[in-house]
Structure 1
Amino acid sequence: MASYLLSYDSDSEDERIIALIQHLKDEDDEVESERVPRSRIYIPRIREEAGENLWKDYFSDTPVFPPYKFKRRFRMRIELFLRISQGISKFDSHDTPEHFRFFRERFDAIGRPTFTIFQKMTSALCQLAYGTAADMFDEYLKMREQTSILCLDNFCKCIITLYKERYMRPPNAYDVQRLYSKHEEKHGFKGMLGSIDCMHCVTPKYLWYLKLK
């Protein structure tokens, strides 16, 4: 590179830069043409064994991890997880949408069963709960990135279809009063709608302070 710059004789700095870029591009093209084309790398993922491990860890009669571990890692109780899985698997209509059929038992081209609904839901919920990359749990679930993205997309569509009318509508006066009552019953003081962590409470003393300001 240094010899090339010294051998190039020009009074124009712009011409030197243009010539240098062109020289580097020619060298890169030569290296690219000499490369041997590589085939796609195949990673053998034993998804059946991963599905059995997931079942033994959380969903069997004697799971490895207790329910509180499930709630902390999945950000929901196991009963809610099972309720959602049943809602997705048992959904039936005259024209069942593709995102529901995605979670049903399937077989690939060589007859191997695809991922279970528990594996697909676990992948989607982990992405929602932790905001991680799609292939973050590839080692545990044996699921590649593209499949994990499909799990998340179809899971969200199923949730919207199943629960939009009941849980994803604006609250009415009855809902607001019920939420206030539940919050006061559980925490012992009146909370604020929209305060997710219940970290702030407006006390009479603080209101008096605001009036002074």
Structure 2
Amino acid sequence: MEEYLQMSETVAHEALNTFCECIPQLYHKKYLRNPTQTDIQKIYEVHEQRHGFPGMLGSHDCTHWAWEACPVAWQGQYHRGDHDGPTIILEAVASFDLWIWHAFFGMPDANNDIAMINVSPLFDCLVNGVGRDTSFSMNGVIYEYIYYLVDGIYPDWATLVHSFTCPTDVKR
């Protein structure tokens, strides 16, 4: 710390803490929130115009981050065989403009995409039937629920639309 930043470790930690406290204050109203009904309509319109996906609220995926400072007692809960050390999993949903409006860090033993989706609060509103109106129309049919674009590992749920990894013809 001292050589690279030319400041003591204490001052560097204080600066980092101040930075971390300021981020929510600066960006909460615009970015660190769920989309409003107006946001949802804008996302729908742009996805349909640019990509031909009416009713899609964003792309959903999970990624692993190496957790080098993971406490030794917890490492078994955050370890996966295909990674060298403990990782924490991040679930995120991003819209067309790369607004990451949903981010959720995993819990112990939620070390893959399927386990993560089962503990995530993203679908709680659908499960509990308390979500806001996100209906959309396609080919004259009104659909009640939003959907997310995902890769092939996710379950076959109505709100998850799988992408084609290897297009086999012009239509796909």
Q: Which has the larger Rg?
A: 1
Higher helix proportion (structure 1 or 2) = 1
Instruction: Give the TM-score, by structure 1 length.
Output: 0.24
Higher strand proportion (structure 1 or 2) = 2
